[in-house]
């Protein structure tokens, strides 16, 4: 903690390491076992879970880059065992969104120079590769991987286990279990390798693949594809997750 500025009211857990030249504001909570590298800035209204690692130059809790922000109290929350690499930036939430919260889950990896804007929600086990940017109120579900230098439009949603090619422009919602890429961004198949690594069986993977064939390769429109999936596929957790995501997609899913 030598040469760092730490407000006396900040709540620092047990066995926390704080390197030199850090700034930690008053309304900050840091969980047990965290490692805060030199030159990290943690501004007001940030809660960090246990055993997180934050690397030099990261700025957490900056006010939203949103002209509607009026100085209200809003938060950043980060779960346990999450790693935030060099110069990543994570902004607080806003009142205008009704959320007042930017939330990152547990066991995530936010790589160098990545940006998480106001009111984003990131699930668990997410990897956000270097130079990626999530615009305000974007949502990323568990186990998704966002390739380097990709950018996501405001309000977009990225489904669980999705894998996005580096350099992608995400302007529509990306449903769960898929891989996407090309320019403009399109469906490229399912993330079968990732699913196998996470314990999905061949039967589950084949079932997901058959569902997406109906959505993307059958010539049906989305409404007809959904109706056919409901009538022809047995209810499973994967089927229901896909249907729920597609139905609730305000921006529409990728082509």
Tokens 């950043």, located at residue = 76
Name residues whose C-beta falls within 8 Å of residue 132's C-beta, 6 or more positions apart in sequence.
111, 114, 115, 146, 147, 148, 149, 150, 151, 152
Q: Assess whether 119 carries a catalytic annotation.
A: yes
Type and span of the H or E element at 203: helix 202-217
> Cα separation of 55 and 90, whole Å?
13
HSE, side-chain direction, 13 A CA sphere, residue 97: 26
HSE, side-chain direction, 13 A CA sphere, residue 112: 4
Q: Which of 39, 115, 118, 161 is catalytic?
A: 118
Q: Which of 136, 147, 148, 159 is catalytic?
A: 136
Tokens 């246990």, located at residue = 50
Q: Which of 119, 141, 142, 173 is catalytic?
A: 119
Q: Is 77 helix (H, G, I), strand (E, B) or coil?
A: strand
Tokens of 77: 């929350």
List C-alpha distances in Å: 40 to 32, 104, 110, 231: 17, 18, 15, 54
φ, ψ for residue 237 (rounded to 5)? -60, -40
Residues taking part in catalysis: 118-119, 136
């Amino acid at each position: 903690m030598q040469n760092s500025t730490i407000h006396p009211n900040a709540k620092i857990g047990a066995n926390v390491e704080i390197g030199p030249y850090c700034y930690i504001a008053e309304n900050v909570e840091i969980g047990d076992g965290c490692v805060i590298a030199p030159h990290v800035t943690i501004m007001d209204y940030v809660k960090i879970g246990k055993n997180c690692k934050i690397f030099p130059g990261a700025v957490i809790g900056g006010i939203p880059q949103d002209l509607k922000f009026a100085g209200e109290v809003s938060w950043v929350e980060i779960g346990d065992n999450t790693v935030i690499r060099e110069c990543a930036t994570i902004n607080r939430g806003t009142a205008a969104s009704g959320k007042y919260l930017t939330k990152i889950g547990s066991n995530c990896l936010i790589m160098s120079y990545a940006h998480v804007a106001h009111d984003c929600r990131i699930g668990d086990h997410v990897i956000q590769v270097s130079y990626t940017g999530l615009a305000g109120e974007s949502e990323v579900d568990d186990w998704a991987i966002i390739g380097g230098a990709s950018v996501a439009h405001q309000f977009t949603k990225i489904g669980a286990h999705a894998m996005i090619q580096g350099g992608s422009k995400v302007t529509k919602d990306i449903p769960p279990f898929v891989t996407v890429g090309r320019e403009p961004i399109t469906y490229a198949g399912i993330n079968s390798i990732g699913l196998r690594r996470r314990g999905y069986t061949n039967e589950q993977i084949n079932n997901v693949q058959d569902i997406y064939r109906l959505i993307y390769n059958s010539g049906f429109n989305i409404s007809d594809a959904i109706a056919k999936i409901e009538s022809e596929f047995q209810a499973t957790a994967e089927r229901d997750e896909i249907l729920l995501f597609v139905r609730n997609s305000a921006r529409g899913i990728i082509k």
